[in-house]
Each structure stands twice: as C-alpha cells, then as structure tokens.
Amino acid sequence: MKNYLYIIIALTFTLFNQLYAQDQMVHLLEPSRDGKKQQILQIGENNGVKLLAMASCKQCMPAVYTYNPEASKASGKSIYGTSGIYVIPYDENSYISVAPKIPAVAIGEGIWETFLYANFFSADKAKIASMTKKKVEDWAINFSKQIMTGGVGAQPVDSESNLYYPAAKELHNGESFNSVTIDITKGKEIRLNFPNGHGERYNYMAELSKVLEVDIYDVGGNRREYMFVESPLSIIWAKYSSGNDLGKSIWGTYETFNYFHKDQKVIRNLLVSKEGQDKIDAKLADWSLKAKEYAEKTYAAKVAKDIKNRRLPSKGLSNSALEKQATLAAKLWANQYNWEETITKAYFTGNDWSIYRNSLGVQLGRRISGVIVMKRKDGTCSFQYATFAQQYNGSGYQKVFTEGIVRGQNVLECTYVN
C-alpha cells in the first residue's frame, strides 16, 4: 500500500529520507472540508519529526499535524497540532480535535471556555453515534481544567534543583520560556538564567529585607525590578512602573509582577485563580507600603539629625559695607521670585573676588561665592548658597547684586544663625 504521507511530501516539495507510518481508518463526528465522514489516519515519523496526518483518500491532500512536545509534556498525552488546532487522544482508538477561542491559549496555560472548531474521530464507529459536539467541547474544557488544577502532566518537584516555572513566560527581549534556572546565594545575590544563554543578576537589599522580613534582591540600573524570595520554592518578581523605587512608591495600577515556583502545579493553579493572583498583589501592596513608611520615617529622622547638626558655612571675605549690599541684593532677589522666607542676612564664603572679562579681555566685573540666610515660616532657619557680583564701569565697581543661587535650602536651627 502506497503511503500517502509520502504523497504530501512530494506535493509540498519536501524531501523525506525515512518514513514510518501505519494506516488507520477513522470515522468523524463532523465531516471534513470535502464533506467526508471517514478518513485515513496515519501517525509516522520523518527525519526525527513525529507527524499525524489525515486524508479522505490516499491520493487526497492530507491535513498534517506535528507532534507538540510542550503540550504533550504538559498533559501527559501525545498531542499533535497545527495553526492553533490540537489533536488529543481520547482513548486507545479515538481523538478529540479542538481550536480554542476563549482563551486562545496553549495547553497548560489556561482553562478553555469556547472553541473555533471541535471534532471527534474514532476507529470505532459506535463511539461516533454516542458523541455530540457539546460532549467534545465539555471534554476539552475538563481536560484543560484538569491540567491547570489537577496536576495532570505536571513535572515532579525537586526541591534541590534550581529549576523554576514562571507564571508569565515572556521573560527576555520578547522571548518566552517554560522554565528557567535561578541560583540564589542567600544574603548576596540572585542569578536568573534564561534558556537562550542570557541572564540577570539581582543584588541583596539588606536593610529592607530586615524591615519586611523577606529576602529582597534588586536588579539595579534604575530598572526598579525586584525579587522577593518567600522560600527556596517560591519567588515573586515585581516591577515598579510608576517612576519610583521600592521604598518610594506604593503598589499601584501600573505595577506588574511575575511568579516563579519549583512546583508546576502551583503555577498552573495561579494562572486560573484570580484569588491567588489577588493575594500576591495584596502582598506586594503591603510590602510596598511598609517599605515606603520605613523610608519616610528613616528619611525624616535623618533630616532631623542633619538639621540639628548643621551649621552655617565659614565666613570668607569680611567687608561690612559690601555684606549690607549683598543682604539688600538677596532681599531683592527673594522679592522678585516670591520667596516665602524672610531674609536675615547675606555674607561671603569666598576669600576673594574673581574677575570676569569679555572675549576681548576687557574686565566686566567681579564675583564671589556666598550664602543667603533666612527664617522660615515653620520656625526654623535655612541658608542657600549664592553667587554675588559687581559690575565694573572702567573706574570702579557698582553695587553688589545677586548673580545666581544654588537650588535647595539647607535647614538648621535658628540658634546657630547669629
């Protein structure tokens, strides 16, 4: 008997060096495209590629399905597929064929609800008589559910291994992976290794880890991505997309997380459990809030300590007449820019003036560094670094004016400003 898998190869101009296949006549619940309800089914192998093919006759163009190792591994069955259609063994001589619509996900990534296509075929014609399209769809839905929630096809857990399964598989430059390896050096670093040979390193955050009572690792580089190691089995990855780091931001709408676990059943359950996803979301929200509160409290304590220990910069050039002019110039600047503070004095911190000239070397004036001292509405005082200058008219210097200031006030206790 001439093998029609050879014919499909000839028709598609593909060369098969070796081919092993066996004929099986199957009956269809729904007719094929050519209206037939009986087809020849062959399962064979060519050049190491496993194939399943079906056609209405040996000379007809067959539908060819390729063995899907990922789906087979996830389900524990030998599954073939093409263009979103899966052919799944139903029993020893029957198959279910479906194309998921909602959600349009692969086997092991979600529970199917509706289908673009569903069919049933069997070598036993009596089974066709007792089958309906609804039964086919219900079986496929239950099949996908058993994989996601019942542990069907899940790989055994090896607690000593560094192999983890991700919930979201798109992990590196748009590439998706079913598993990764994660090497944890406790209290030092995490190395996340992708199957494509790339990897990332996360460094330990000792202070926040102690505060939140969970080991936290930061990828750095202003990426705002963190690993929270709940246990050697369970790791939460989090990205703060709102523009602030952990400790400066709450967990909001635009933040995202992923979940890694050594138990594939845990990941599958999470993918179909909104409650489980919400728990991780709530956990990250709690950690983020505690980190922010701690950072703010720590910052406030540091600010208070800095204020208590801060003193005015040392005085440089001393000239009471010029200092009075500088104080008046500082007040004019403050009025011009609507400062709320009250200017109390200004003085020079530079030891001498520096001359500035135009491109021809003609002297235009001189400048010197200094500070502006002020009292704030909250009862504290502060100073701000500034540059004072005098224009030169060819025979003498004009009045002192404020040439510019350094942004940011330095708060201190008013006891130390006199």
SS3 string, 128-145, reads HHCCCHHHHHHHHHHHHH
User: What spatial distance separates the first Cα and last Cα of the chain, rounded to whole Å?
Assistant: 109
Residue in the block written with tokens 């933040």? 255
Contacts of 251 (CB under 8 A, 6+ apart): 238, 240, 281, 284, 285, 287, 288, 289
Residue 3 has a pLDDT of 54
**How are beta strands 401-405 and 256-261 bridged, if at all?**
unpaired
CB 348, CB 368: distance < 8 Å: yes
How far is residue 391's CA from residue 170's CA, in Å, rounded to a whole number?
64
pLDDT of residue 2: 46
Cα(387)–Cα(375) distance, integer angstroms: 20
CA dihedral angle for residue 175, residue 179, residue 180, residue 185, rounded to 10 degrees: 150
Give the pLDDT confidence score for residue 19 in this predicted structure. Answer: 40
**Residue 6 zone, left/alpha/beta (φ > 0; ψ -120 to 50; rest):** alpha
The per-residue pLDDT for 47 is 85
What's the whole-model pTM score?
A: 0.67
Within a 10 A sphere around the Cβ of 212, how many other Cβ atoms?
19
Length of the chain: 418
Sort residue 291 into left (φ over 0), alpha (ψ -120 to 50) or beta: alpha
Residue 411, both tokens? 């708060």
- Residue 337 identity (one-letter amino acid): Y
Q: Which amino acid would we find at residue 402?
A: T
Could you tell me if 344 and 375 are in contact, meaning their C-beta atoms sit under 8 angstroms apart? yes
What integer pLDDT is reported at residue 349 of this predicted model? 97
User: Coil, helix or strand for 107?
Assistant: coil
Residue 269, CA distances (Å) to 145, 150, 154 in order: 9, 8, 11
The C-alpha atoms of residue 51 and residue 370 are separated, in whole angstroms, by: 83
Q: Are 242 and 254 in contact (CB under 8 A)?
A: yes
The pLDDT value given to residue 18? 37
pLDDT means over runs of 10, the chain (418 residues): 47 36 88 92 90 91 91 88 94 95 88 95 95 96 87 78 94 90 96 95 96 96 94 96 87 94 93 94 96 94 94 96 97 96 97 95 96 95 97 95 95 92
- CA distance linking residue 369 with residue 292, whole number of Å: 38
Nearest CA among 323, 312, 302 for reference residue 374? 312
Please give the backbone phi and psi of residue 198, each rounded to the nearest 5 degrees, phi first: -90, 170
d(CA 61, CA 18): 20
Torsion sign over Cα 20, 23, 27, 32: positive
